[in-house]
Amino acid sequence: MQEEIITFPLDNSTFLRVLSNSFREFLESGTSRSTAKLKPLHGAIAQDLAERLGSDYVVFSQGYKEGKEVKIKGRYIDKAVDITVKKGNIAVAGLSVKFVMQNYSQNSNNYFENMLGETANIRSGNCPYFQIFIILDKLPYYKRSGELHKWESFTEHNAEKYVILSRDNSEIYFHTPNKTLIYIVHIPENDDLRNSEQYMDYYKSLNPSLSLTEHDYNHFGNGVILNDYESFIDKVYHTIMAL
């Protein structure tokens, strides 16, 4: 399965190619629990951030240089973070990345509550923290047997809690990320697929490139950036440089 070539710095179209590569790794691994899909995604964001920040900073992530996560000291517990930025020996920022490809509804609240908890822990330890949440606009919901039970859509109802979050004052509420990127993407649909094996085989043969969703969502406040990686990473950069 051919991967798309990635050049740096990442812009919005290149970021979509990164996501396409991550989706292809997911198809090759055959499971959403594999860390293989994370490496092209986390590694590309880490490299992009490292090149923007320059040699005074060191970035740690799967898929980039040493290929490892490191822990950030939290208020309550130390937490291994998807992407960590250090200046000297001090962590100056962390980024969490979530890419949801299946069985969203049963985990929707857990994803959100975990995000709030880990953000509060890190930010209360005096380290800026950012969130990236990526999801297909239409995704399969499987039974334990692997049967494709139904197709789910990421709806305005699903987005509503993020809309509320986007209007929080992050200087007051430490459970609120310094900035959140929500990226909602689309792949060609096929309602004839009946199980996870057919899904994997079909999309491997299709070798799809992801595109941005055409669905309109509720208006987000300043805390959330929708489908604009360039604006998000610019906010991350300027937050770190202002420390």
Instruction: Render pLDDT for 38-77 as a digit per residue (tens, 0 to 9).
Output: 899 999 999 999 999 999 999 999 999 999 999 999 999 9
For residues 32 and 146, which has the higher predicted lDDT (pLDDT)? 146
What is the pLDDT at residue 33?
64
Task: Name the range with the highest mean pLDDT among 2-11, 193-202, 213-222.
Answer: 193-202
**pLDDT band for position 101 (50/70/90)?**
very high
Task: Look at the alpha carbons of 164, 168, 174, 176 in this order and tell me if their dihedral is positive or negative.
Answer: positive
Count of other CB atoms within 10 angstroms of residue 230:
15
**pLDDT band for position 218 (50/70/90)?**
confident
Distance of CA 57 to the CA centre of its chain: 22
Q: Are 52 and 9 in contact (CB under 8 A)?
A: yes
- Strands 211-212, 179-186: pairing is antiparallel
Closest CA to 224 of 192, 181, 191: 181
Mean pLDDT of the region 198-203: 96
- Strands 138-142, 83-87: pairing is unpaired
Q: Are 187 and 203 in contact (CB under 8 A)?
A: yes
pTM over cut 0.75: yes
38 sits in which H/E element: helix 38-53
What is the pLDDT at residue 29?
85
Mean pLDDT of the region 171-183: 97
What is the pLDDT at residue 156?
94
What whole-number distance in Å separates Cα of residue 182 and Cα of residue 129? Answer: 15
pLDDT tops 80 at residue 151? yes
For residues 217 and 184, which has the higher predicted lDDT (pLDDT)? 184
What whole-number distance in Å separates Cα of residue 52 and Cα of residue 60? Answer: 14
What is the pLDDT at residue 37?
81
What is the pLDDT at residue 32?
61
| Alpha-carbon dihedral 123, 60, 222, 102, rounded to 10 degrees | -100
Looking at the chain, which runs of residues are DSSP E strands? 58-61, 70-72, 79-81, 83-87, 90-100, 129-136, 138-142, 148-153, 179-186, 211-212, 224-226
Instruction: Quote the mean pLDDT of the chain.
Output: 95
What is the pLDDT at residue 71?
98
